[in-house]
Structures are given as C-alpha cells and as structure tokens.
Structure 1
Amino acid sequence: MTSQAATPPRLTSLSHGGGCGCKIAPGVLSSLLAQSSLPPMPFADLLVGSETADDAAVYRINERQAIVATTDFFMPIVDDPHDFGRIAATNALSDLYAMGAQPLMALAIVGMPINVLPHATIAKILEGGESVCREAGIPLAGGHSIDSVEPIYGLVGIGIVEIAQLKRNATACANDVLVLGKPLGVGILSAALKKEVLDAAGYAAMIAATTQLNRPGTALAMLPQVHAMTDVTGFGLLGHTLELARGAGLTAQIDAAALPWLPGVQALAARGIVTGASGRNWASYGAQVRWEGADAEGAAPLRALLTDPQTSGGLLVACAPEAAANVLKTFADGGFAQAAVIGRMVQGPAEVRVRA
C-alpha cells in the first residue's frame, strides 16, 4: 500500500532542475519550433504571437484595448513550499508587467507527486501562489491539477493593456539606454542552496528578489520614450538582451561594471558554483556575443553570471537617453532600489557586446 512519507523530502530533491533553470535551452527550443510543418494561421486581431519570442500573447478586443495572456510554471527552486508558490506566481505575472499590462486574473497550473509530498505541503505551495495574486489585486480564479512525478507549479496570467501603451521586446531604437530593474544572480544562489552552502542572508536576498512583483512595468508603459521591455528570466541577461537586439536589428552593448548583483553571487561564481542551465544558455547563443576588454576564456566567471537563469528576474527596459532618469525614478518609487543603467542599443549587427 502506497502512503505518504513519514519525513517529507526536500522539494528541490524531487526535481532535476529548478525555477527558470528548467527552461529548454534557447537553441533547442528554436529547433523544435522550426520543425512544425503547419503554416501560421492569420488572425488580424492577434497583435503579438510567437514571432519574436515576446513575453506574452496579445489579442485586440476593441479599438483601444487588448487582452494579454501568458503562462509560466516550473519545478522547485527552494525547499520552503510557501516560498516556492510565491516565487512561481510572481514569475508568471512578470510577463504581463513586461508587456505593460495590468493583471486581471490568474489560473493555477499544478502538478504534484500526490503520494510523495504531504498534502499540507502542497496546500502551502498553493497558498503561496494565492498570496501573490492577492498582492497583485487579482483573483486566482481556478486552474488545473495533475498527479506528476516532479512537483510543478505556476500560473496562467491574463491582463489588459491600452494598445497605444503596449510594450514589446522587438521595438528598441538606436541610442536607447538599457535599464535593468532587479539585481542578478538568482540561479547561482539557487545552486548554492542546493549544495547547502547558501547562508541565511543569501537566502533572504534571493527570496526578496524573486517575490517582488514587477509592477513598475505598468507605469513604465505609459512613458512614450520607453520603446521596449522584457523580463530577464531563464535565458539569462545575455539571452534576453540578445532577443532585444534581434527584434530591433541592432547591437546591444552591456557594461559589466554597471550591473547590479545580489549579495555574494560573484564570489560564488568564482568558486564554480553555477547552474547547468548557464552552460546550455552559452552553447545556444554564445556565438552572437562579443567581448571588449576580456576574451571569452578569461571571462569564464563573468560568462556564468551573464548566462545565469534568473527566476522571477527584473524588467529590462530600452528607453530614450533623456527618459532614463524618469525610468529609474519609476523603479525607485516602486521599491526597486538597485535598478541601474547597464548599457545601450547602437547601430550594428544583431548581437550583444560586453565591456568586461
């Protein structure tokens, strides 16, 4: 007879990966999507689909407004079930904010090893997700659940946006500056947690970052000199910056010295504490990254940091230089004290250049 374990297992021990590090590598994903033999169907009111790997789908419902829809789910990045639920929900809603939308409601996506995890543990995961929806001011209106081998949790997010204020990841302009809303290093901290070398301060910093809703995205979308937005998640800073560059047909320049970091991540990367997803990310897009001031071999720890998968990462904003101060103020007013200008978009091939 199968029964629940007397001693509950660590959530992270039940999954082969965690958080946005579970994402299929960008190169593999592109190959899979390219193998579809079905031609795309034209829908005049589908304003944003899968063409530019944007953060959410957008469908026009009237002359002024559009519905924004996204889904995001993953396996545990932490062992505390309530924290896992909060992180997953915050991450899912981030895609709506990255498009400039106001969230309307959410649906839960739940896959749990029902005979392995105590039901009380699963309930805490669900409660954590619902608490974030309450914070965002939206109902968790339903969802779907299955019995699965690994624990999986996330949300479908539905939002609304004024079409004139819709922000995409493909519309940056030459000479735009790049502003990053959250510090980097979540994947490295999660790797340290799994190896049991993350201290209490590091864990607290990781939870604070990953459960902070990217609400400034809705306000930033109202600024006409904000030209493009995305959020930095599983493909790392380099991967999501490259999406901006490809979409705009421009070169993205990143100043490594200007990047904000979560405490301790640079030292951990120097010790080789990184995620497997970092290497997969680099293998997928490293050929489109150029280094200034350090060659690829000499910058191995920096490469690991810049390809580090960011679960519930920050917004990456491309705006006119004269709007940068207002963008930073909008972030600061929303509680994002470490938001920083990290680079710019310039004329050139669709690639990323890093000044190390």
Structure 2
Amino acid sequence: MSKLNPSENSKDNSGYENFDDCSIYKINENQSIIQSVDFFTPIVDDPYTFGSISAANSISDIYAMGGKPLFALNIVAFPSDELPLDVLTEILRGGLDKCKEANINILGGHSIKDKTPKYGLAVTGLIDTSSIIRNNTPKESDVILLTKPLGSGILTTAIKQELASKITVQNVIELMSTLNHDLSETNININACTDITGYGLLGHLSEMTQNSNLSANIYFNKVPFIDEVIKFAKDGIIPGGSKKNLDFYSKNVLFDSSIEIHKQLMIADAQTSGGLLMSVSKSDANNLIKILNKNSKYETVKIGYFSDKKERNIIINNE
C-alpha cells in the first residue's frame, strides 16, 4: 500500500505510510470512526481458544489508538469438506464470547472455503478526534511502558513441538486471550502507543522512532517474559518470524555486547495478541501504571525511556 497513491479526502485522518494501528475517518468536528482488520491461522489446537485469541488480537488495535470498540464483523476461511462445522461453530463462539467481554457485538461477516482455517475480525470503534494516540509520536524523556510479558511466539512454537509444560501452555493461552486495556477510560495523556504483535518489541519500537529525532533506550532485565521463554530460547526453539524480525530490524538496534543472541531473539519475538507499548511523560507514568494495574492480570512495567537521537534508533542495555 505504501507504493500506491490513494485519493485525498479531508475526512481521512490516517496514513498507512505511518503504520497506524487503525484507519481513521472523521465524522464530525469532535469524533472519528477508527477501523482495523486482522485474521490468522490457528496457533492452538482448541477451536474455541483460537477464536478467543484471534478476537482479542483484532480488538487490540482499537484500544492501542485510545478508541472505544463499537462492533465487529467475522472474517472466516474454513475447509468445510475436511472439518466438521462444529469446529467452525466453536471458533465463532470463542470470538463472540471475547467480543461480549469487550462489550461489543458481532453484527455479521463473510466466509470462504479454504484448505487452511483462518479467523479474525474487522472491528469498528469510535474516538474523540483530539484524543487519537499515534504510534510514532513519543517525546524526549518519556517513559516506555509495557502491559504484558513477551514470549508468546517462542512458547507457541514449543507447544507445537510438544515441549512446553501444561502450566506454560495455560499461561500463554491466558496471556493471548486477555483483552488489552481500554485507554479511553484512563484520562491520562499518552504520547504514543501501539500493540505488540508480529513485528515484536523491536519492530514496534522501530515504528515509534521512525519519524522522530529520538532513540528508545531499553533495559533488557526490566522487560517481562513469560516463564520458560529463556529456557526455550537458549535451546533454539525460535519461530521463523522472530528470526526475520531480528534480521530486519537489527540494523536500527545497538545491543550491549553482553546480550547473547538468544536474548536478542527474545526481544525480537513475534507476538500474538501482545500487550500495549506506550510512551508517557515521567510525571504521568506512575499514575498510569497504578490505574492499569488495578484489577489487571498482568503488571504494567517501565522498560526504558526515550532520549535524544543516539547512534541507533534503539539501544538495548543489559541492565
């Protein structure tokens, strides 16, 4: 899309060249519609769980821009000649229940026959135009916050190879099924935000710094990971997408010389339904953490800060 030239529209307030999490369409002086679409192939065996994870992942983009989700549409590809329709029903039930948890309805959708099952949502939300949170507008000295631990890519790879313990399987499924925070209810100014998905922490930090004169400084030892991630990373249980992330984004990254390759891959790990990555002023960071950690399954933590531009866009310190 970045190589195409769409027609200009004064109500269109988004640009895919900036990798915004949602499209934005201004409907009046104060409000805008935001919309996002996402779907993927199963990453777990249980159909209901797959539907739940995919729905949580799809809704996340609305939250990342500070919006309120309104409704969703199903997107389905299913091998109806090879799998019973009861499997599809359970996928859809998982998605519907997750949408109910987010207080939205699924109003319809579209399906096609395909050899490989795929499921996701097109989600529509509403936002105050003045409150839109972009993903590339951090400010110098901002604190970098992360709302969920990393490692779902490595662990789902371990699960596929039947290497993960039952508790680890439960932990990663719960993580991916958990909805992200509704930032529209925090009443705190967030300078930049995105959700961590397939590009991993490195990729989404690259988006945040691409049009700025800033560098993201990350403390590796403050980045949270799900239990057993480091064990599997050391054993080389790494998904192809995570390896590609490190290869692609490493030119923008300065790793401390003591950070081993398996730790670099952990930072680059491709996530599914990952947490929110936020840039917040020092004065607001603790208040926001307190709000987000109230009644939350996962602790929002400080993992670094933005500084004036250094030799690379991203600096990973071994602290």
Query: Residue 129 of structure 1 aligns to a residue in which SS?
Result: helix
The answer to whether the Cα contact below 8 Å between 2:42 and 2:50 also exists between their aligned partners in 1 is: yes
Say which is worse superposed, 83-92 or 107-116, in terms of deviation: 107-116
- Find the residue that maps to 1:338 and give its secondary structure: coil
Give the corresponding residue for 1:30.
Answer: none
Deviations 1:92-122 (CA, angstroms, capped at 9, x unpaired): 0000000000000000000011111221111
Q: What displacement does 1:293 show? A: 4.2
- C-alpha distance in 2 between matches for 1:91 and 1:330: 22
How far is 1:247 from its partner? 3.4
- Contact 2:67 / 2:182 at 8 angstroms: preserved in 1? no
1:14-69, Cα deviation, whole Å (9 max, x unpaired): xxxxxxxxxxxxxxxxxxx45x3x43321111111202101111111111110010
Task: Give 3-state SS (helix, strand or coil) of 2:191's partner.
Answer: strand
- Distance in 1 (alpha carbons) for counterparts of 2:298 and 2:54: 22
Match of 1:155 in 2: 121
Letter in 2 for 1:309: A
Q: How many residues align structurally?
A: 317
1:228 corresponds to 2:192? yes
Contact 1:331 1:337 in 2 (8 A): no
- Aligned match of 2:143: 177
TM-score (structure 1 length as normaliser):
0.86
CA distance in 2, matches of 1:215, 1:338: 12
Match of 1:9 in 2: none
One-letter code aligned to 2:303: I
1:338 and 2:299 are equivalent in the alignment: yes
Q: Does 1:124 align with 2:86?
A: no
Partner of 1:351: 313
State the match for 1:264 in structure 2.
228
One-letter code aligned to 2:57: N
For the residue of structure 2 that corresponds to 1:282, the secondary structure is helix
Q: CA deviation at 1:218?
A: 2.5
CA contact (8 A) 1:82 1:127 kept: yes
Which whole-Å CA distance do the structure 2 matches of 1:291 and 1:348 have between them?
Answer: 16
Moved more, 69-78 or 43-52: 43-52
The sequence identity of aligned pairs, in percent, is: 36
For the Cα contact (< 8 Å) 1:216–1:331, is it kept in 2? Answer: no
1:215 shift after superposition: 2.5
TM-score by length of 2: 0.96
Aligned to 2:20, which of 50, 54, 57?
A: 54
The one-character-per-residue Cα deviations of 1:199-219 (angstroms, maximum 9, x if unpaired) are 110011111111111133223
Q: Deviations over 1:229-269 (max 9, x none)?
A: 10000000111011101133311111101011111111111
Any residues of structure 2 matched to 1:125-144 within 5 Å, and which? 125-144=91-110
Match of 1:313 among 270, 274, 289: 274
Letter in 2 for 1:347: D
Q: Quick one: which amino acid aligns to residue 345 of structure 1?
A: F
* C-alpha distance in 1 between matches for 2:47 and 2:80: 14
Conservation of the 8 A alpha-carbon contact between 1:282 and 1:307: yes
**Corresponding residue of 1:205:** 171
Bigger mean CA offset, 257-266 vs 91-100: 257-266
State the shift of 1:182 in Å.
0.3
Code of the aligned partner of 2:290: K
Residue 160 (structure 2) aligns with = 194
Q: What residue ranges of structure 1 are gaps of 5+ in the alignment?
A: 1-32
- The equivalent of 2:81 in structure 1 is 115
Compute the displacement of 1:192 (Å): 0.5
What is the letter of the counterpart of residue 288 of structure 2? V
Distance (Å, rounded) in 2 between the aligned partners of 1:274 and 1:352: 22
In angstroms, what is the RMSD of aligned CA positions?
A: 1.3
Asked whether the equivalents of residues 68 and 182 of structure 2 are also in contact (C-alpha less than 8 Å), the reply is no
| Partner Cα separation in structure 1 for residue 296 and residue 5 of structure 2 | 45
Taking the aligned partners of 1:218 and 1:261, their CA distance within structure 2 comes to: 27
Check whether the contact 1:215–1:334 (CA below 8 A) recurs between aligned residues: no
Aligned residue in 2 for 1:18: none
After superposition, the C-alpha distances for 1:152-206 in whole angstroms (9 at most, x for unaligned) are 0000000000112110101110110100000010001100110011111001111
